[in-house]
Amino acid sequence: MLWRRTFALLAGVAVAVGSAGLSASAASAPTQPTQPTLHWTSCGGGFQCARLPVPLDDTAAHSPTISLALTRLPAADPHDRIGSLVENPGGPGVSAVQFVREQAKMLPATIRDHFDIVGFDPRGVGGSAPIDCTPYLDPLYNLQFVPVNDAARQALVAGVEKFVAQCEKKDGSELPYVSTERTARDMDRVRAALGDRKLTYLGYSYGTYLGALYADRYPTHVRAMVLDGAVDPTLSAAAENIQQAEGFEHGLDLFLQNCAADPSCVFYSGGNPGAAYDALRARLDTNPLPAQGAGAGRTLDGTEFDIGVTTFLYSGRTEWPNLAGALEAAATGDGSEMLESSDQYTGRNPNGTYTPEQDAYFAIACLDGPDPGGLSGLRAIENQAALVAPRLGRSVVNNSTACAVWPVPTQTSPVPHAIGAPPILVVGNTNDPATPLSGAQDLTHVLQSAVLLTVRSTMHTAYDSGIPCVDNIVDRYLVQLVPPTPGHVC
């Protein structure tokens, strides 16, 4: 489970609640949701910020509350304002507040004119009672996610169990309450607090799962919904991990094939970059590479190499030259560029601390499930993934080892169908490495009113990434509520 859309190293957002993000006030059960007024204050750059109290456990009559962080950029043309456009950038674990502050002004003018651009940090994320197990994740990512022997496998399990124990000790009281199901209910509270009769939503990657659950639970509250880089909600743990392993492997194969056919590729390696890649990867577990450019005394190991490669692959063809450069540098003895790519994904800061994104990712993803079946179940999935994705499969699957030993049972939601919702626009790329096109196709099938837009692209997600055909269709749908004809391809 490596769903992501944005990889910027996000600055921390202040949390105006206690150390566990809880307060002692009472909250209503789901049947009687509170609708507090949002008090917006300026927070720089034309943005406004607010906080929204929500019950930690909305199935209990008297629950402590947590406080959700929100930001908005008011519509540029108040006279043509339609309402709010709520965005989720993916993850899970990525701050929507920080994403909106970085991205909102780059949205097309017609979207900026018609909508307040809004982001709220889901529970457990960013400024919303964040899960923050430990600021030091080097011990985790220095483990072998592709164990070379029994000792390495035992060390992997022990290291992950230690990390999970830190999560339970630090945030154990919150861990049962950060599911996407609960965040979907929070999103309806956000919609009501914004004063919008119906929700207009744009979700990327993991954000498509959040959107699909919302549409299923509140179909009559949906105005428009774009689900870009769709997560398939129908898959078992095995199918989910294997699908993603195949997606990244296919993305890597496309890169290597392109490089092999282009002598100007810096990792051309005499026309056989695949063999050069395999030789480089094979020696990293026993001989980490110096990576002084990423920090004094640092080295690149096999786990960080795999993470660095997959991070490049998220951006598809546009990042192939940089991937080639990082591989060539590593092949000649400098692992700095690849390690910096890994750091970008894991959220490692130059001082050796990490942002809480990975902690929140595990807390939410492991709770959502599906259950991998413990360590033995995950091992079986790993072996299957290695057959279809020999270069990246084991690493992708073992990124989920924490879910095999997570202390809270999974709370997997029923497959959403969104019966009674208006047309929902699902966007899928033909060669998306993280959420393959089959996921978008399956989501379109299970959501009763969904319409699929297929995009010929090698990157993860499509809207607002420089593809005019996609942007024009999405903009028209969001503003005018006119979806594309079924079967449309960009």
Q: Give me the domain span that covers residue 301.
A: 138-142+236-404
Whether residues 329 and 370 share a domain: the answer is yes
Catalytic option among 432, 464, 471, 475: 432
334 and 251 together in one domain: yes
Instruction: List Cβ<8 Å contacts ≥24 apart for 165-171.
Output: 166/133, 166/134, 167/131, 167/133, 167/359, 167/362, 167/363, 167/407, 168/407, 170/132, 170/133, 170/134, 171/20, 171/131, 171/132, 171/133, 171/359, 171/363
At 470, phi and psi to the nearest 5? -65, -50
- Under 8 Å between Cβ of 123 and 182: yes
| 301 is known as an active-site residue | no
- Do 262 and 375 belong together in one domain? yes
* Annotated catalytic residue, options 460, 464, 465, 471: 460
Catalytic site residue from 67, 179, 205, 457: 205
Q: Are residues 434 and 376 in the same domain?
A: no
109, 121: one domain: yes
490 within domain boundaries: no
232 is a catalytic site residue: no
Q: Both 179 and 223 in a single domain?
A: yes
Same domain, 240 and 229: no
Q: What is the pLDDT along the chain (490 residues), one digit of tens a residue?
A: 454 444 332 322 222 222 233 332 223 335 445 567 899 999 999 999 999 999 999 999 889 999 999 999 999 999 999 999 999 999 999 999 999 999 999 999 999 999 999 999 999 999 999 999 999 999 999 999 999 999 999 999 999 999 999 999 999 999 999 999 999 999 999 999 999 999 999 999 999 999 999 999 999 999 999 999 999 999 999 999 999 999 999 999 999 999 999 999 999 999 999 999 999 999 998 899 999 888 889 999 999 999 999 999 999 999 999 999 999 999 999 999 999 999 999 999 999 999 999 999 999 999 999 999 999 999 999 999 999 999 999 999 999 999 999 999 999 999 999 999 999 999 999 999 999 999 999 999 999 999 999 999 999 999 999 999 999 999 999 999 999 999 999 9
Q: Are residues 385 and 271 in the same domain?
A: yes
Q: Strand pairing of 424-429 and 222-228?
A: parallel
| 212 and 344 part of one domain | no
Between CA 122 and CA 20 the distance in angstroms is 15
Structural domain count of the chain: 2
Q: Are residues 214 and 270 in the same domain?
A: no
Q: Are residues 228 and 258 in the same domain?
A: no
Is 28 marked active-site? no
Of 361, 376, 404, the residue that ends a domain is 404
Of 404, 439, 459, which closes a domain?
404
- Give me 283's structure tokens: 């020696």
Query: What's the predicted TM-score (pTM) here?
Result: 0.93
109 exposure class (CB count in 10 Å sphere: 0-12, 13-18, 19+): exposed
Strand order through the sheet with 199-204: 41-42, 48-55, 65-73, 115-120, 83-88, 199-204, 222-228, 424-429, 450-455
Q: Would residue 119 count as lying in a domain?
A: yes
SS3 track for 16-73: CCCCCCCECCCCCCCCCCCCCCCCCEECCCCCEEEEEEEECCCCCCCCCEEEEEEEEE
